C-alpha cells in the first residue's frame, strides 16, 4: 500500500471531472505532505515514470494536476 492510496481512492470515488483541494485536505488524507509539496510546483507534476509516487496515485485513476497554486496552497485535479 502506498502512502498516497487514500488520495487515489478519494479521486476515484469523487466521479467528478475536476476536483479542487487545499494542500491541507490532501495532507489530511495521506498523513502529511513533505515540505517540497508546499514549496515546489514540480512536486505536483504529472510524471508517469520516475520516483514521484504521489503522481502515480492520481494518474492511476485518470487524473492529472491541472492547476497548482503555491500561494493559496490549492491543487486542481482534472480527469483525462
pLDDT at 20 over 80: yes
* Greatest C-alpha distance within the chain: 31
Considering the entire predicted model, what is its pTM? 0.92
Distance separating alpha carbons of residues 41 and 54, to the nearest angstrom = 13
Instruction: Give mean pLDDT, residues 10-36.
Output: 97
- What 3-state DSSP class applies to 47? coil
Q: In what order do the strands lie in the sheet with 18-22?
A: 18-22, 74-79, 63-69
pLDDT band for 15, please (50, 70, 90 cuts): confident
Instruction: Give mean pLDDT, residues 35-56.
Output: 91
The rounded percent of the chain whose pLDDT value lies above 90 is 88
Neighbour count for residue 65 (Cβ, 10 Å): 18
Instruction: Give mean pLDDT, residues 4-19.
Output: 95
Amino acid at each position: 500500500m502506498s502512502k498516497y492510496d487514500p488520495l487515489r481512492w478519494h479521486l476515484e470515488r469523487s466521479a467528478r471531472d475536476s476536483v479542487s483541494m487545499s494542500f491541507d485536505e490532501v495532507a489530511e488524507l495521506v498523513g502529511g505532505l513533505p515540505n517540497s509539496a508546499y514549496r515546489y510546483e514540480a512536486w505536483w507534476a504529472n510524471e508517469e515514470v520516475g520516483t514521484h509516487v504521489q503522481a502515480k496515485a492520481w494518474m492511476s485513476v485518470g487524473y492529472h494536476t491541472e492547476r497548482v497554486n503555491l500561494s493559496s496552497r490549492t491543487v486542481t485535479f482534472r480527469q483525462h
